[in-house]
Structure 1
Amino acid sequence: MTEPRIAIIGAGIGGLACGLALQRAGVPFTIYEQASALTEIGAAIALSANGSRELARFGCLPGLEATSCEPTELIWRGWRDHTRVAAHPVRKDCAYRKTYGAPYFGIHRADLQKVMRAQLHGDVIRLSHRLTGLAETDQGIRLEFHGEDSDVVDLVIGADGIKSRVRDYVARPGAIRYSGTSAFRGIVPTKELPHLPDPHAIQFWMGPDAHLLHYAIGPDGGDVNYFAVTEGPDEWPDPERWVIEATREDHLKPFQGWDEAVTEMVSQSHHFARWGLFTTKPLRHWHKGRAVLIGDGAHAMVPHHGQGANTSIEDAVTLAGMIASEGLANLEGLLTRFARLRRVRTTAIQKSATATNHVLHLHDEADLQARAARLKKFPDEFGWIHAFDTSKVKSEPTRNIRLRAR
């Protein structure tokens, strides 16, 4: 029997995870990446149990432990002072691993890519391959690349992010929408943050119309990655550029009067820019012909649950498992079932992440008290996100997922 020809577009977290899952199943593939090198500056990832358990199955756990920081606790604070609103142990007493069966890590994106790539065998990644078009043919689906030879394959897996060219083919342009919020981010040496309490915890500082999330990265927690989110602008000024210029004053203005730990962190950044937060509207179809979407191309979400990379890993492992067990003989049926299987969960997380933005930016005192009570029940409210295991997907209570995401 002829081996399937599978192309993965994008060597980000979802694309590499898809390659690792296909490799484990003995299914050949090629990853096409538009960049000339797998690097990203100034970005970090919160890797929760639903993602780390899958990477552990690929042999990535030693590499992750060597390059990551496992948070001591998950802490929520108000904006005026250090007072804890709610807290839950993570590394302390191995509480998180005991509850969810896998670790929680803060890791730089480039380090995560290196760990994952190290587990891939052979020359399976083609760099400097920017996809420009797709077309169905009698022999398969043809991929056109800028400045490179075209290729024909049996299946294209679009792991090319929120600006996905594969999604433009599957669902036509226009699926991306601005969330009405934007962010400032940076990485600051921990030693430069003398006023920061619990520097190795993952922490949310919550205030009117803004919040700041931060967690330590690196094997010794030597750096702190922060992500500061504010309401607005009402309309994004440049739809072609999702990162626009900003000043130090722009970064600090939303946090005037906040605890010194917050203003100290934001002022230490050396790269002043504003990131627009965009999402993918619910897609009617995740596939068309021989092309299918995974990750942000299918369900980009605001990052308030830290699930963009983790759900991409889930998608990749689920799709690869179905390919390995069913083959591509009934491709339409396989891709339809894959989308149906993943859409319920990813839509629930999308909606919950959007609702969380409002919860983090509250003004009213009565609402603040209700929020505090809810955050103290984090495992009951949000544990379904972290406990997910693709190997047990057939028994996943999808009806309960819908209810909990309200």
Structure 2
Amino acid sequence: MLGAKVRTPEIAILGGGIGGLAAAAFLHRAGLRSTVYEQAPVLKEVGAGLVVAPNAARLLRRLGVMGPLLRSAVRLDVGWEFRRWQDGTILSAEDLATACERLYGEHTYTVHRADLLEVIRRAVPEGTVRLGRRCTEVTVRDGRPSMRFDDGEVAGADVVIGADGVHSVVRGVVADPRPAAFSGLCAFRALVPGDRAPSFARRRAQTLWIGPGHHLVHYPISEGRFVNLVAFAPAGDDSVESWTARATVGEFLREFEGWDPRLVDLIRAAETPGRWALLDRAPLPRWSRGPVTLLGDAAHPMFPFFAQGAAQAIEDAAVLSRCLAEDAADPARALRRYEALRLPRTTRLQAVSHARSDINHLPDGPGQRARDTSFTETDPLVTNGWIYEYDPDVAMAAEPAAG
């Protein structure tokens, strides 16, 4: 005997970045419709490069977007290549060319953020995204959320997903709305045209130069047309939290004065760098309240030292879509399940990413020498297997039965 047909919930997603669009794409794949409200007038990623590790590649392939992404992605041969700041001595390096697929069934890639956003957007049905819609308030009355926008429009939904970043409006509905704290660190980011980059930086390698109070990461993106740089240093009084804030090449160089001349040459070849302050938030004890939940940086902003920010948002999207599809009659219960599945993992990643800022920035001395020795005794690709082997389908199949 067939039961009553379950009404498909109206799902609103606030934020049209990688996490928000991934949520819309996975929901569509699960047979659910959503509306994405994005405050920008056009969909674009301002950032530069990011690493697509096996846990993210696995889900992008499942979403059907890895094929298009591979047209511009760079498949890494070497990763976690740690170099000493002063002379470039290689402290350790990982063979990603063969070991990564053998261990995790996927390779590791680097991509331009805009390329990743575009391929995910193509997996979202036309008409899903509403641009130029800045939400100023989310409220819940009688179990149903509503959103108010800056032009006065009010829209309702059965479910609201806050994928609206570290300054999330939605976060205030489910948690203490206190602002994020400044971490004391700032990040420089820049692109170097491939034809201007030194040969060592054009290799299919993710390289990390570590030194006192600073570290710098570089890798090729966009089929090697650019080398992506991101560097971390103590934040000055003029650092602001903005992806569009600018610095000068001279300011960037001053932070790395005295470092290996090859690295200095790479920085000197950079186009206009960006500089922004890293914000710090303690992990949340909960992400959801009734029919409202959080995703990506809105739920679990993390330092970028494990290159997992975008990957965790994509994982959130995959798990959330399944939870809602499997319990469409009770969205609040589906969101509680989503939170229970995801919160422990992302909290752990927030913690290890936070700790890495101290490890990478040790001053020269006994602690630094012990750290460098430890690089020769550990295998990051294996040690961090809990990150790269993750599969939402496996995790959900293994969850305890409801009591």
Q: TM (normalized to structure 1)?
A: 0.90
Tell me which residue corresponds to 2:395.
393
Decide whether the 8 Å contact of 2:239 with 2:276 is kept in 1: no
Describe the shift of the 1:244–1:198 C-alpha distance in structure 2 as closer, same or farther (beyond 3 A).
Answer: closer
Instruction: State the secondary structure of the residue aligned to 2:107.
Output: coil
CA distance in 2, matches of 1:387, 1:198: 28
Cα distance between partner residues in 1 of 2:383 and 2:371: 12
Secondary structure in structure 2 of the residue aligned to 1:67: coil
- Which aligned pairs between 1:224-263 and structure 2 lie closer than 5 A? 224-233=227-236, 244-263=245-264
Q: Secondary structure at the match of 1:270?
A: coil
User: Which segment drifts farther, 59-68 or 249-258?
Assistant: 249-258
Q: Counterpart of 1:78?
A: 84
Using the TM superposition, give the Cα deviation of residue 195 of structure 1 relative to its aligned residue in structure 2, in angstroms: 5.6
Give CA-to-partner distance per residue, 1:92-151, whole Å, 9 cap, x none: 2x3212211122111111111111111222321111111111122348211112227321
Q: Secondary structure of 1:299's partner?
A: coil
* 1:397 Cα offset (Å): 10
**1:280–1:296: 8 Å Cα contact kept in structure 2?**
no
**Contact 1:11–1:32 (8 Å) recurs in 2:** yes
Tell me, in whole angstroms, the C-alpha distance in 1 between the residues paired with 2:316 and 2:47: 25
Secondary structure at the residue paired with 1:185?
Answer: strand
Q: Residues 270 and 238 from structure 1, CA distance in 2 versus in 1: closer, same or farther, beyond 3 angstroms?
A: closer
Partner AA of 1:216 in structure 2: P
The match for 1:296 is: 297
Shift in CA distance, 240/257, structure 1 to aligned 2, threshold 3 Å = closer
In 1: Cα distance, 2:222 partner to 2:99 partner: 21
306-315 or 97-106, which moves further after superposition?
97-106
1:313 corresponds to 2:284: no
Alpha-carbon displacement from aligned partner over 1:157-185 (angstroms, at most 9, x marks no partner): 11111111111232242151222111111
d(CA) in 1 for partners of 2:398 and 2:233?
35
1:301 maps to a residue whose letter is M
The alignment partner of 2:252 has SS state of helix
**Structure 2 counterpart SS, 1:258:** coil
Q: Does 1:217 align with 2:221?
A: yes
The question of whether the paired residues in 1 share the 8 Å contact of 2:324 and 2:335 is answered with: no
Q: 1:29 to 1:12 in 2, by over 3 A?
A: same
Change (3 A) 1:248 1:61: closer
Pairing of 1:30-109 with structure 2 (within 5 A) = 30-74=35-79, 75-90=81-96, 92=97, 94-109=98-113
Once the two structures are superposed, the pairs formed by residues 196-215 of structure 1 within 5 Å of their partners are 196=200, 199-215=203-219
CA deviation digits over 1:230-257, x for unaligned, max 9? 1234xx6577767655333321122111
Cα distance change on mapping 1:209 and 1:395 into 2, 3 Å: farther
Equivalent-residue separation in structure 2 for 1:242 and 1:46 (angstroms)? 18
Q: Measure, in 1, the Cα distance between the counterparts of 2:356 and 2:263.
A: 20
2: CA distance between counterparts of 1:276 and 1:397? 38
* TM, length-normalised to structure 2: 0.91
Question: Which has the larger displacement, 175-184 or 152-161?
Answer: 175-184
Q: Which stretch of structure 1 is more off in the superposition, 153-162 or 113-122?
A: 113-122
- Shift in Å at residue 153 of structure 1? 0.6
**Where does 1:257-406 land on structure 2 (aligned, <5 Å)?**
257-329=258-330, 331-376=331-376, 377-394=379-396
* Alignment counterpart, residue 168 of structure 1, candidates 169, 172, 180: 172
- Is 2:240–2:277's contact at 8 Å kept on the other side of the alignment? no
CA drift of 1:286 comes to 0.8
- Kindly provide the amino acid, as one letter, of the partner of residue 299 in structure 2: A
Matched-pair contact (CA < 8 Å) for 1:76–1:87: yes
* Structure 1, unaligned runs of 5 or more: 399-406
Once the two structures are superposed, residues 30-71 of structure 1 have per-residue CA deviations (whole angstroms, 9 ceiling, x without a partner) of 111111111133422211111111110011111111121111
Q: Work out the CA distance in 1 between the residues paired with 2:394 and 2:85.
A: 40
Q: Which amino acid aligns with 1:182?
A: C
Which stretches in structure 2 are left out of the alignment for 5+ residues? 1-5
> Helix, strand or coil for the counterpart of 1:266?
helix
CA distance in 2, matches of 1:351, 1:101: 26
Instruction: Report what 1:116 is aligned to.
Output: 120
Identity of aligned residues (%): 34
Q: Distance in 2 between matches of 1:354 and 1:396?
A: 28
